[in-house]
Amino acid sequence: MFFVYYEYIERARAFVKKRGNMQFGQGSEANAVPKLMKKYGAVPASAYTGKLEGQEFHNHDGMLKELKAYLKWVKESNSWNEQMVINTFKNILNTYMTEPPSIFIYEGKEITPIEYLENVIQLNPEDYFSFMSTQSKTYNEKGELVEPDNWWHDDSYYNVHLDDFLFIFKSAITEGYTMSFCGDVSEPGYDRYEEVGIIPSYDIPSDYINEDSREYRMYNKSTTDDHCMHIVGYTEVKDDWWFLIKDSSSSGFDGPNKGYRFMHEDYIRLKILTILVYKYGAKDVLDDIIK
């Protein structure tokens, strides 16, 4: 929630700069997190929950409604004062989420979010790379992911062939690197109660899933970017790969294994749009691209 808070702040800033000509809503792309880390640092969950006292679950529907109403007023009244807009956003966010700490106690000592990032968890945001696979861009070069959640028009996605895209999933997880991925979960083969993501044969047989069938679904918008999740494991059954997915959304807790499900490799090939992974998890592919 630390990153959610500051993602809204950065969207408010961009809304003013773009004079309201941008998408605004819940959700974002996975690489928003390293982007925000560079500027704001990070905190442990114990230092900031984003919940009010006594609040059990996160629910931002009311907050989003208020933020949107305010931005509508900003645009209609031509009130393009960046600092005023950001301050008002903070007031609204603080009401619903509380304000993130600028300093907190960690192991008995005061520490800032930047210090926590650099000295404790020691993550370098530059070590994480984003990938996509689309025929609409040049392969093995960087390009923009054209999706509403990429509201800042990030063009640092390496566009790779579909075989390389799936290879990154397999090589990273077998080497012990988890990864974030984003894609379409509004599919008949994606069942929150059975905790599984598959491509039914009545959609398309496995042998027919290729770059063409994938691109067609992106082109006609039957594949969209609904949700980002976390791959934390895998298993192989009769030469088929199944990836263990960690899902923190409310729908991830509808099945018996709360927060987890399996996704077949065909689902990755056809319906998943992006990957965010640590550099060594995609080393072989990156070595072929970055000479």
CA geometry: angle 151, 199, 261, nearest 5 deg: 75
In tens digits, the chain (291 residues) has pLDDT values of: 999 999 999 999 999 999 999 989 888 999 999 999 999 999 999 999 999 999 998 999 999 999 999 999 999 999 999 999 999 999 999 999 999 999 999 999 999 999 999 999 999 999 999 999 999 999 999 999 999 899 999 999 999 999 999 999 999 999 999 999 999 999 999 998 999 999 999 999 999 999 999 999 999 999 998 899 999 999 999 999 999 999 988 888 888 999 899 999 999 999 999 999 999 999 999 999 987
Which segments of the chain belong to CATH 3.90.70.10?
A: 125-289
Q: Does domain 125-289 have CATH number 3.90.70.10?
A: yes
Query: What gap in Å lies between CA 187 and CA 203, rounded to an integer?
Result: 10
Block residue for tokens 């499900």:
261
The pTM of this model reads 0.93
DSSP string, 151-182: TT----EEE--HHHHHHHHHHHHHTT--EEEE
- With the C-alpha atoms ordered 183, 185, 188, 191, is the resulting torsion angle positive or negative? positive
Query: What gap in Å lies between CA 2 and CA 101, rounded to an integer?
Result: 9
What 3-state class would DSSP assign to 196? strand
